Amino acid sequence: MLFVLFNFSLFILLFSDLCKLQASQRIDPNFSKLIEDKFFEQFVDSHEYILTLFFVPGCESCNTILDEYENAAKMVYQEFPSSVGFAKVDGSKSIALCQAFDVKQFPAIKFLRHGEDAFEYTGERSGQDIYNFIKQELSPTVTLLSTVKEVLSFIRTAPKTVISFITSITNEKKFQLFNQTTSEIRGEFRFAILTDSSQFPLISGSEDIVQLYTNSGQQRQVYRLTNDETVYSLSTWLRISVIPEYSELGPETFPQYSNSELPLLIVFKWEKNKKFYEIIKTQVQNIRKKGVAVSYVDADMYGQYVTELGINPNSNQFPFAIVDYIKE
């Protein structure tokens, strides 16, 4: 009898330890979970949407965002208790997973929707902003608006909003083009269609145009659609319009350039060859119209990196290079 009791007690202890182990690995959408490589696929299969924070211990920026990320996870759970999984991946241990998600720097946040490729979240990194992003992602791809008041309210809901002033009645081709574009770059912008054409003159002045609002509606850019328009041309215009026009390539701007998935023209700026930098500067607008982003690097400060690319600062070699970021 003692033997049986002993084994039963041992079973309870082992079962308790097993429960604790499973609890530590359980897919729980309530809070962000530290996930190892071997459990990540299971985590993905258990949620319709996955947000993953890639970090490394000791990184100051990572430490700052971890608390905000946890706050966002709790807020999302309160509104969407079973839809979204918040994962955390230690980049110093899960190297293969970082490579699979094309993580270029830490911290990085990737969003994954079932059946689609992951893309990087490049918005502000407060808990509220991350929550707003998730709420937007779980909303319909395109919001239907019918009044000027609704338009003004909509453009304040996200940093980058796009409104179509096209009706299927007047131009079915352009209407379908806009819808296809929203599916192609969903997650990068928030899209809407003003359905009442009588309201067009009050906001856009005409139809067959797309308006891009940035800084929560404070800035506006207009794109007029032609019959030769394609999903590529419209999506390229949207992407090129929200990245810096001609900024120095650095820790803050690099994610914006690289995540745009556009060809990037890097101009190497140094004092000895300043004239080439100035020449490119006058052509930035024309280059961007071709769907190519433009940035520059201070070659005097980062000369070692310039020489590693095969460019000699002391020669007359034309100082720029094309780096093409292509989505696989």
- One pLDDT digit (tens) per residue for the chain, 328 residues: 333 333 333 333 333 343 343 434 444 444 778 888 888 888 888 888 899 999 999 888 898 899 999 999 999 988 887 788 899 999 999 988 999 888 888 999 999 876 577 888 877 889 998 998 888 778 777 888 888 899 988 888 778 899 998 877 667 888 888 988 988 887 778 899 988 888 888 777 677 889 999 876 678 899 988 888 899 999 999 999 988 888 888 777 877 787 777 888 888 777 766 777 788 888 888 988 888 998 888 877 776 666 666 666 666 655 566 666 544 3
Rounded CA-CA distance 38/305 in Å is 37
Q: How far is CA 307 from CA 107, 226, 267, 323, in A?
A: 28, 44, 14, 16
Rounded CA-CA distance 239/256 in Å is 10
Q: How many CB atoms lie within 10 A of CB 213?
A: 23
DSSP state, 188?
T
The pTM for the full model equals: 0.60
